[in-house]
Amino acid sequence: MLIITTENYTGSDCTGTDGGSSRTLTLSNTQKTVQPGLLLYVSGLAISLTSDYTISHNDTGTVITFVNPLWDDMLIIVNYYQEATTSTEYGIKRSDIQDIITTNGSQVTLIRQTTTEDSMGGVTAVSEEEYSIWALIQDITRKDRQIHDMGLAVPGNSKAFFYHEYPDTLTGNGDISVEVGDIIEYKDEKCWRVEQIISQRQADNEEIFRVGVIKKIDLDEDS
């Protein structure tokens, strides 16, 4: 299983002198870090691999080198995954599928709506909580017989692969598992609603990942 970690630094934690280039920062990881899912911010701005920084993924003490000038008072935030050693089959499988989702999928926002009702059952308020997650969204094909048999292979529907559970260190808003009714928002403001959880794959009686059918919300609004 991959473990996500968030660390906060300033430029003064790096080698080199104030305002210098090629300054390095050593992370506190105790397992090898991986590139998929790694996010690096300097003074609130996301920076890019190669053009802005390079990295040596080590078993311990991964080293980041900042290509451009870096000042001591700049705030640095690093979100990264590190591999966790495990001898359990389900742990290895969780790690494998999460790596596939982060490598081939996208970082999206899960929006969960909660309604407040009056004594007559009428909705008086709707509140929303947002969570940052990774998801792998694909088109439904003829090979997805289960989805076809369930009558869910209709225009506007797609299938999506999710972690079995997203930890607070990733979501920034507590642990969460995807459920029917959740809204998935992509960075270009495309929105889907989770229509059905069609599979909760297991190994050793432990859930590994979830597969859901999602429907574009704007199609609902146009109908």
Task: Please name the amino acid found at residue 45.
Answer: L
pLDDT in tens, 138-177: 999 999 999 999 999 999 999 999 999 999 989 989 999 9
Average pLDDT, the chain: 89
What does the pLDDT read at residue 187? 76
211 vs 91, which has greater pLDDT? 211
Which residues partner with 7 through β-bridges? 78
Q: How much is the pTM?
A: 0.57
pLDDT per position as a tens digit, 4-18: 899 999 999 999 999
Residue 172 Cα distances to 49, 146, 161, 167, 188, angstroms: 23, 34, 20, 8, 21
Return the CATH number of 104-222, one of 1.10.260, 2.40.160, 2.40.10, 1.10.10. 2.40.10
Residue 8 near residue 77, CB atoms below 8 Å = yes
Q: Summarize the confidence of residues 67-81 as an average pLDDT.
A: 96
In the chain, domain spans: 2-85, 104-222
Quick one: pLDDT at residue 120? Answer: 77
- Tokens at 97, concatenated: 């599928």
